[in-house]
Amino acid sequence: MEIWLAPLLAAAATALDIIVVLIVLAGAVRALSQLGSAILRGHLRTTTARAIWVGYATAILLALEFALGADIIETAVAPTWSDIGQLGAIAAIRTGLGYFLGRDIAEFRATSGHVIEVPER
Residue 88 CB partners (closer than 8 Å, separation 6+): none
pLDDT in tens, the chain (121 residues): 568 888 898 899 999 999 999 999 999 999 999 999 988 988 888 888 888 988 898 898 899 889 888 888 888 877 888 888 988 888 888 888 888 888 887 887 787 765 544 444 4
pTM: predicted TM-score of the whole model, two decimal places: 0.77
Question: Residue 30 contacts by C-beta under 8 Å, 6 or more apart in sequence?
Answer: 55, 56, 59
Contact 101, 60 (CB under 8 A): yes
